[in-house]
Amino acid sequence: MVQFSRPSLDDSFAALSDATRRGVLEQLGHADASITDLAEKFSMTRTGMKKHVGILDRAGLVTTEKIGRVRTCRLGPRRLEEEAAWIERYRLLWNARFDELDKVVEELKRKERIDGPKKRK
10 Å CB burial of residue 100 (0-12, 13-18, 19+) is: exposed
In a domain, 35, yes or no: yes
pLDDT at position 39 is 98
pLDDT at position 114 is 86
Q: Is residue 22 located within the same domain as residue 66?
A: yes
pLDDT at position 6 is 58
Q: Is residue 90 located within the same domain as residue 59?
A: no
The boundaries of the domain holding residue 92 are: 80-116
Q: Which CATH number fits the domain that encloses residue 46? A: 1.10.10.10
* Inter-residue contact 27 to 41 (CB < 8 Å): yes
pLDDT over threshold 80, residue 86? yes
Q: Is residue 71 located within the same domain as residue 84?
A: no
pLDDT band at 115 (very low <50, low <70, confident <90, very high): confident
Q: How many domains does the chain have?
A: 2
Q: Is residue 41 located within the same domain as residue 90?
A: no
Section 52-77 average pLDDT: 95
pLDDT over threshold 80, residue 5? no
pLDDT band at 112 (very low <50, low <70, confident <90, very high): confident
Please give the model's pTM, rounded to 2 decimal places: 0.74
pLDDT over threshold 50, residue 97? yes
Q: Is residue 68 located within the same domain as residue 84?
A: no
pLDDT at position 1 is 46
5 or 27, higher pLDDT: 27
Q: Is residue 62 located within the same domain as residue 98?
A: no
Q: Is residue 62 located within the same domain as residue 109?
A: no
Sequence-separated (6 or more) residues with CB below 8 Å from residue 22: 16
In a domain, 102, yes or no: yes
